[in-house]
Structure 1
Amino acid sequence: MIGFVVLFCCFIAWLFYRHYFRPYYLLKNSLLLPGPPPSFYYGNYLEIREAGYFESIAKWLSKYDVTFVYYLGIKPVVLTEDVEIIKSITVKNFDSFVNRSYVPPLLKKGKVRGLLQLRNEEWQRMRRVLSPTFSSKKLRMMAPMIQKSCKKLNEKMSAVSNSGESVDVWKWFGLFTMEVILATAFGRDVDYQNNEDTPVVKAVASIIKTGRSTSSTSFERLVLLLSHFPWVVPLLKYFARKSVSAMNWDYLEDVSLNIIKERRKAMASGSTRQDLLQSLLEACEETEQADEDNPSGCLNNDEILATVVTILNAGYETTSNALGYTAYLLALNPAIQDKLTREIQDYYDANPDASLYDAAENIDYVTMVVNESLRLYPPAPRFNRECNQTCVVSDNLVLLEGVDVSVPVFLLHRNPKYWPNPEKFDPERFRPGEQSYPPFAYLPFGEGPRHCIGKRLALLETKMALVSIIKDFQFKKTTDTEIPLSLSVGITMTPKNGIYVNIVQSAM
């Protein structure tokens, strides 16, 4: 009996050492990094939950250093604003940081995963095949679909212009962006901006609403749980499949698979369309990469489906947010908006027959305004990478396998060390040939081989919409314009109460 008690006590002591003492103290000592003291079981999660993610991170950055370690449960997270370390993990030592932290699968039974979920060789293969799909040539062919939605957006704005009515442009841009995605990715020509009652639109709206209602610390809570109980992943998948949001994903999955099958039949008879889905179906013709499971290098239906829903999930809110925040910043800075209007009008005076695509790509000041808006309100306010092997990141930092590295992009973009007067909206920071900020201090779409693959599409859509609007209208702040904006921070960063402005006909 005594021997059993001794063995039991030794087992408990080993568990305590393995799960609490070793991660918190031995690992921290090996990292040689400062950081907030962790508490039993929770690590530093409770402080993040109570104060907010960026509030906690900002406090720790000021108290410790540009690089420090904190814990979610027993999971160590190294957070950094050091541009050299960011360069190391995203480019120089990318092979040691190929993977994102755990991202739950979206599709049925979690068997098929998109780029966000894929890891190691699976991700590398998918990325190689998909990259040509987002080439400038392919995006130019999609421009007419974007321009069609821009025209409808302008018609809506014309109906309320000079009325004095405060309009939630963030909501309007959301409708516009969803319409573009449904046209370019799902292959569906839906008048989403004027009709929100179609089954596909309702399913998408429910998914987006569920995502917005998710707690801003849900990722931290998930990491905390998995750090202690990694074996619960199958249970999480099971319960996630029972949610209303999951049922909507299932509906979109079924619809999308039918569209893919119909499109393949049409292609066999010689019919094609100039959209993203067509490019995905033709991806095997653009790459010479292949493997044993897929000798041709092509994408099968399930892989195309995973890509389409990933674009939906990642592309909708990021682009609508970019447009909403740009409208907000222009309304608050009329001198910059006037300059943008003049630049657009001067371009069209010199190039009266220019397409909307050409204007968006050739007016430098449009790009400068969008870049500065993305600096103040980045699409993804943070990103993580997981260390998959012990790596010498810098002279003073060695990271062990299993450690997460987090980059707080929102705070990095407002760091006065890199950005003088960081709260000021100043597009001149991005004048071509006059870059004043250091490399890797500006990361609206990440950096390195795992940067956002949809970056070009998002920027093209944003710039085309902006040119189309500012050519005829201007945004004006009103008593309903919230200053400053209240933000809801999660995977993306959204305005809690919308973005209300007046829309007036341009006087120039």
Structure 2
Amino acid sequence: MISQLYETSPGLLAVGVALSLATMVVFTFRLWGEFVGNAILSTFNGGVLSTGRAAPGPKWQWPNGQFADKFLNGAARSEEWRKYGPVYRIWAGPKPEIVLTTPEDLKVFHTDSDKHFKPKDGNFGWFFDQVLGRCVGLLSLDEWKNMRRVVDPSFTHGATVKRISVTEADAKSFVENLHTISNEGAEVAKAKGRFTVPAMAAFMKFPFIFTAEVVYGNMNEAEKEELWAIAEKRQALLPFFFKGSFYRTSYLKWFDRPAYNQLQEFLNSWAEFNTRMARSRREQALPVPIVKYWDEYLQGNITLEQVTHTLDEMLFANLDVTTHVLTWAITLIADHEGAKKELREEIEAHKDNLQEYITNVNTHLHRCYYESLRLRPIAVFSIGESAPSVKNFRGIHVKPNTMVLVDTYAINVRNPFWGPNSEEYDPSRFKNVKSTDLRYNLFVFGFGYRKCLGQYLAGHMVKAILVHLFSQYEAVIIDGRKGKSDYDIDKTTWVPVADVTVELTKLQ
């Protein structure tokens, strides 16, 4: 029948032949591109010296290597790439990245961590660089020290302890009003004392606004709504970070004008919002961080991009991160009766000193928090950094200034340090572990000289939510479970957030 159609429509036959030839040309070009690309990159830009052995690893793939796959399918790739051994090479576009999977090699790498460099664009390319390239997390050496001098004071351990009364009160208020965002509706949920919430949607906005008010001070509803609207614009840019190809270069402005315009609209609105917030807070004589950041910028000590990119890192880039941490902590406690029962008993024993309890790191609560971070790391593959010297990893001599990543799942879970039950949720494993032993055996807030700016604030916020949630409600995972200890993952974020539904029943 198809042949008859072609016989009666020779023009259609010509189109079909043309499409087939075009497909063959594209396929051939891709195969040739991968063959030539692998040969050229491995020879001239492989990231390793010929004095050592060759770096194993997956072949470079046209046109972006493995750079998106390591984030969007990290768990699967971590398992797949185990066959290459404890040290191997992947590609971010045309750039080599060396992956480490053992504490021993991490220790070798971090002997000079105070001299390490972060990639200006995170090895994502131009589009990412316009949004986050000058954030404090990607600055190096003196630039990093100068920016940390500016932003550190509000996020130190001492500063977050002083803020614990606000943290605890905000968490309590949020949990008490959870029924208003339930699937069943506020009135039904309150009347029945039982309701369900989708974990990601329910627990995303609180950490975001909570952190924003640390930076800007108390915000009115209009300011919160405007900031959330900007956050949605920012979230819409996320897919472009992973597209690679032209999106890794400034040629994007000619290749995809709508995406370029979308980027510029966000950047302009973000800069304008912060300018206005800094002016407003200064006029009110409020001693909040945004005023200090803006004063430092106006005095020429830091750049406007360093301010806006760092605030993006704190709020927008960490929106998925804090949601990930909070939802997994809730999910894993809810699904393990023994841990949940012990937590409830401990909370009851500390009900008269909750704020001190939340800041204490020698508790079952803290161990539950750390165990969820261990089992469900924020990203399976870390953002890379480079050393200024040659590094010898098991005979592979890595060139200076080559990006080195960490397979966090290999360190946190497959690592023999964690024993035969390493894949199980067991907070008690931290009871007798010295903090010094965790240095290269646990990836939570980074290794070496640099640590995450918000580690103390995030820890107090998450633990405050856990305290009030599990003391007020029985929590059960009713949807999103895959087998005994696995769960659905949300596909719209760059980190593996739990895509589960939690049923909450008010405790008497």
Output the TM-score relative to the length of structure 2. Answer: 0.76
- Could you tell me which of 63, 88, 113 is aligned with 1:94? 113
CA contact 1:387–1:399 (8 Å) conserved in 2: no
Q: Could you tell me which residue of structure 1 aligns to residue 99 of structure 2? A: 79
Does residue 181 (structure 1) correspond to residue 211 (structure 2)? The answer is: yes
AA paired with 2:266? Answer: N
Amino acid aligned to 1:165: F
- 1:361 maps to 359
Percent identity of equivalent pairs: 16
Pick the aligned partner of 1:167 from 197, 218, 232: 197
- Is 2:299 the counterpart of 1:272? no
> Where does residue 463 of structure 2 map in the other structure?
463
Aligned twin of 1:307 = 310
Structure 1 unaligned blocks of 5 or more:
1-14, 285-292
- Residue 297 and residue 376 in structure 1: after superposition, are their counterparts in 2 closer, same or farther (change >3 A)? farther
Corresponding residue SS for 2:173: helix
Partner of 1:422: 422
1:21-67 C-alpha deviation (Å, 9 max, x unpaired)? 62377947445144236257558549959994432332221x23111
Residues 416 and 82 (structure 1 numbering): CA distance in 2 closer, same or farther, change over 3 Å? closer
Aligned to 1:288: none
Instruction: Tell me which residue corresponds to 1:114.
Output: 135
Tell whether the 8 Å contact from 1:139 to 1:457 is kept in structure 2 after alignment.
yes
Q: Post-superposition shift, 1:249?
A: 4.1
Q: CA deviation at 1:117?
A: 3.6
Partner Cα separation in structure 2 for residue 111 and residue 74 of structure 1 = 21
Instruction: Provide, for residues 210-250 of structure 1, a one-character-per-residue CA deviation record: whole Å limited to 9, x for no partner.
Output: 43xx28xx65x63x779xxx8x3464699697253552343
Q: CA deviation at 1:109?
A: 6.5
Q: Secondary structure at 1:425's aligned position in 2?
A: coil
Classify the secondary structure of the residue corresponding to 1:478.
strand
Q: Do the aligned residues in 2 keep the contact of 1:344 with 1:467 (CA within 8 Å)?
A: yes
Deviations 1:81-135 (A, max 9, x none): 121221233x312255321433568899679821134344322321243333322
SS of the aligned residue for 1:387 comes to: coil
Shift of 1:472: 1.8
In the alignment, structure 1 residue 32 sits paired with structure 2 residue 53: yes
2:281: which partner in 1? 263
5 Å-filtered alignment, 1:438-457, equals 439-457=439-457
Quote the Cα distance in structure 2 between the aligned partners of 1:471 and 1:186.
31
- Alignment of 1:129 onto 2:153: no
Cα distance, 1:398 vs structure 2: 2.5
Task: Provide the C-alpha distance between the structure 1 equivalents of 2:324 and 2:363, rounded to a whole number of angstroms.
Answer: 21
Aligned mates of 1:40, 1:167 — CA distance in 2: 41
User: Is the Cα contact below 8 Å between 2:328 and 2:376 reproduced in 1?
Assistant: yes
Counterpart amino acid of 1:177?
P
**Alignment partners' CA distance in 2, 1:459 and 1:443:** 15
Which residue number in structure 1 is paired with residue 23 of structure 2? Answer: none
- Residues 165, 501 of structure 1: alpha-carbon distance in 2 compared, 3 angstrom cutoff: same
Letter in 2 for 1:506: L
Q: Which residue of 199, 204, 221 maps to 2:231?
A: 204
Q: Is the aligned partner of 1:248 residue 2:248? A: no
Q: What is the aligned partner in structure 2 of residue 290 from structure 1? A: none
Deviates more, 1:232-241 or 1:79-88: 232-241
Question: Unaligned 5+ residue runs, structure 2?
Answer: 1-35, 180-185
CA distance in structure 1 between the partners assigned to 2:72 and 2:309 by the alignment = 36
- 1:244-393 aligned at under 5 Å gives the runs 244=262, 246-266=264-284, 271-273=285-287, 275-277=288-290, 280=293, 303-348=306-351, 352=352, 354=353, 356-362=354-360, 364-387=363-386, 389-393=388-392
User: CA 1:59/1:31 → structure 2, altered by over 3 Å: closer, same or farther?
Assistant: farther
Partner Cα separation in structure 2 for residue 81 and residue 298 of structure 1: 39
**Equivalent residue of 1:71, what SS?**
strand
Q: Distance in 1 between matches of 2:384 and 2:47?
A: 22
Which residue of structure 2 aligns with residue 506 of structure 1?
507
Alpha-carbon RMSD across the aligned residues, in angstroms, is 4.0
CA drift at 1:425: 0.7
1:303/1:96 CA distance change after superposition, 3 Å: closer
Match of 1:66 in 2: 86
Measure how far apart 1:328 and its partner are.
0.9
Tell me if the contact between 2:390 and 2:398 (Cα under 8 Å) persists in the aligned partners: yes
Q: Do the aligned residues in 1 keep the contact of 2:133 with 2:309 (CA within 8 Å)?
A: yes
Residue 281 (structure 1) shift: 6.3
Give the deviation of 1:358 after TM superposition: 1.9
Which residue matches 1:408? 407
Residues 146-182 of structure 1 deviation map (CA, whole Å, 9 limit, x = unaligned): 3343133222236637644321132111021122123
Compute the displacement of 1:500 (Å).
Answer: 0.5
CA distance in 1, matches of 2:139, 2:148: 10
Letter in 2 for 1:183: E
TM-score using structure 1 length = 0.76
Contact 2:114 2:449 in 1 (8 A): no
| 1:12 alignment partner in structure 2 | none
Measure, in 1, the Cα distance between the counterparts of 2:128 and 2:46.
39
Structure 1 residues 191, 414: closer, same or farther in 2, change over 3 A? Answer: farther
1 CA distance for matches of 2:280 and 2:88? 52
Cα deviation for residue 368 of structure 1 reads: 0.5
Q: Any conservation in 2 of the 1:477–1:502 contact (CA below 8 Å)?
A: yes
Structure 2 distance, partners of 1:432, 1:50, is 33
Change (3 A) 1:487 1:110: closer
Which has the larger displacement, 443-452 or 40-49?
Answer: 40-49
* Secondary structure in 2 matching 1:179: helix
Change in Cα spacing, 1:152 to 1:482, as seen in structure 2 (3 Å) is farther
Read off the aligned partner of 1:82 and give its amino acid letter: T
Partner AA of 1:171 in structure 2: A
The one-letter code of the counterpart of 2:174 is L
Q: Secondary structure of 1:453's partner?
A: coil
CA contact (8 A) 2:320 2:495 kept: yes
Contact 2:389 2:400 in 1 (8 A): yes
For 2:46 and 2:117, the matched residues in 1 are separated by: 27
Aligned mate of 2:176, from 141, 155, 168: 155
Q: Is the 8 A contact 1:102 1:117 kept in 2?
A: no
Look up the SS of the partner of 1:165 in the other structure.
Answer: strand
Aligned equivalents of 2:60 and 2:72: distance in 1? Answer: 16
Q: Is the 8 A contact 1:337 1:474 kept in 2?
A: no
- What is the rounded CA distance, in whole Å, between the counterparts of 2:135 and 2:71 in structure 1? 33
Question: 255-264 vs 323-332, which deviates more?
Answer: 255-264
